[in-house]
Amino acid sequence: MRTAFAGLIAVTIVATSLWAIDGDKKGNRESLEQAFAAKLTGATMTGSFSIDGQKADLNKPDRYQLVSAKKVQGDDWVITSKMKVGDNEVDIPVALKVYWADDTPVMSLTDLTIPGLGTFTARVMFHGDRYAGTWQHGEVGGHMWGVIEKPAAKK
């Protein structure tokens, strides 16, 4: 009887601990998502990209001006960036998934067609003020990496 009681106490302690950890993760996830949205909204991703099969010294400069990052629900997000299309600069909202590896967000889009620009697949990981990932545009693909910069606060 004493062993069964000790076992019940152990199960209760473990279950309570797991519930508390799960609750912390949910609260932590919300704060991580809010921080991620704040980090990207109004930021510029500045870096480089490579094209598979080309020499490393042919890396190209890469720049994305982000207007906003908003969680829709679950893993669904909309990232709006400012892009030059012809002579016009337009805001293009892109629906994508954001998955989490511990405290690290990873953007994921698969075969997304953006009218006038083409079809894209990408996986981009964000850590601190850096990003890195892979991209595919039709038959051409490669890597991308760089830093996330926010404009200096006006005095």
Angle in degrees, CA 103, 109, 111, rounded to 5? 165
| Percent of the chain as helix, strand, coil, to the nearest 5 | 25, 55, 20
Q: pLDDT grade, residue 114 (50/70/90)?
A: confident
Work out the average pLDDT over 50-73: 90
Residue 102 lies in a domain: yes
The parent domain of residue 129 ranges over: 34-149
CATH number of the domain encompassing residue 67 = 2.40.128
Residue 115 lies in a domain: yes
Residue 19 lies in a domain: no
pLDDT at 17: 40
Residue 5 lies in a domain: no
> What's the pLDDT tens digit per position in 2-39?
555 444 444 434 443 443 334 445 569 999 999 999 99
- Phi, psi values for residue 29, rounded to 5°: -60, -45
Q: pLDDT grade, residue 155 (50/70/90)?
A: low
Tell me the whole-structure pTM to 2 decimals. Answer: 0.77
Residue 111 lies in a domain: yes
- 104-114 and 88-101 strand pairing: antiparallel
pLDDT at 57: 73
pLDDT at 84: 80
Residue 114 lies in a domain: yes
Residue 106 lies in a domain: yes
Highest mean pLDDT among 58-72, 102-116, 123-137: 123-137
> What's the pLDDT tens digit per position in 63-111?
999 999 999 999 999 999 998 878 889 999 999 999 999 999 999 999 9
- As for how many domains the chain has, the answer is 1
Residue 18 lies in a domain: no
